[in-house]
Amino acid sequence: MDNQLSIGARANPLSHFEQWYETVQNSDPQPDAASLGTASIDGIPSVRLVLVKTWSEIGFEFFTNQKSRKGQELLVNRNAALTWHWKGFGAQVRIRGTVSIIESSAVRAYWNTRSYGSRISALASAQSTPIPHREALVEKANQLKRVYGEDSDMPVPDNWGGFRVHPSNYEFWLHDPDRLHHRIEYANVDGKWVSMILQP
């Protein structure tokens, strides 16, 4: 177990996140993968992985199809949670908060950084809806490749976009060999971050 991460409270949980991320990104195989929890309007939960590549003081961002299950749930129930697990470091970070929709200019900017294949796939896929067989999807992607060449200015699909999770709480967790693990939670109280140690 690598012990390069330290648990002591910082003034601001975002700097805590950034310090950990800076360390783990050099050796974790997929540091940007986080489990995203959403819930339906009736409170039925659903969790899946997304890539969180960008963040700031305002929040943590991911991109997806807004007609997908997660997209539809977030449009009616803005509560969301993200959890990162960096196995080689025995570390977990959790955030909870509410989401907002990322502005179309930022969505377009991110869209343009995606590979040709990823853009074609996002255009082809009505994410989370059934299709009779996989060949139909492959054929749809091939058709789109005939319409949009590698160098063409491919439009952002209508339903594709991004959400930003605005954290109200962060939790940092570090493994202890005797399972007396370390946990520190930060809660936003009237605009100020308050930290507390939680029992494992």
Ligand X SMILES: Cc1cc2nc3c(=O)[nH]c(=O)nc-3n(C[C@H](O)[C@H](O)[C@H](O)COP(=O)(O)O)c2cc1C
Q: Which residues bind ligand X (CB under 6 A)?
A: 30, 33, 46, 48-51, 62-64, 68-70, 127-128
CA atoms within 13 A on the CB side of 181: 14
Instruction: Identify the CA nearest to 62 among candidates 90, 38, 91.
Output: 38
* Closest to ligand X by CB, 61 or 171: 61
CB of 85 vs ligand X, minimal distance in Å: 11
Complex with ligand X: residue 100 or 128, whichever CB lies closer? 128
Nearer to ligand X, 82 or 91 (CB): 82
Question: Quick one: 33 or 107, whose CB is closer to ligand X?
Answer: 33
Count helices and strands (H / E) in the chain: 5, 9
Taking the complex as a whole, the smallest distance from the CB of residue 38 to ligand X amounts, in Å, to 7
What does the alpha-carbon distance between residue 83 and residue 34 come to, in Å, rounded to a whole number?
5
Beta strands in the chain (DSSP E): 33-39, 45-51, 54-55, 60-65, 79-86, 91-101, 160-174, 182-189, 192-197
- Residue 165 CB, shortest distance to ligand X, in Å, is 13
Q: How far is the CB of 31 from ligand X (least distance, A)?
A: 11
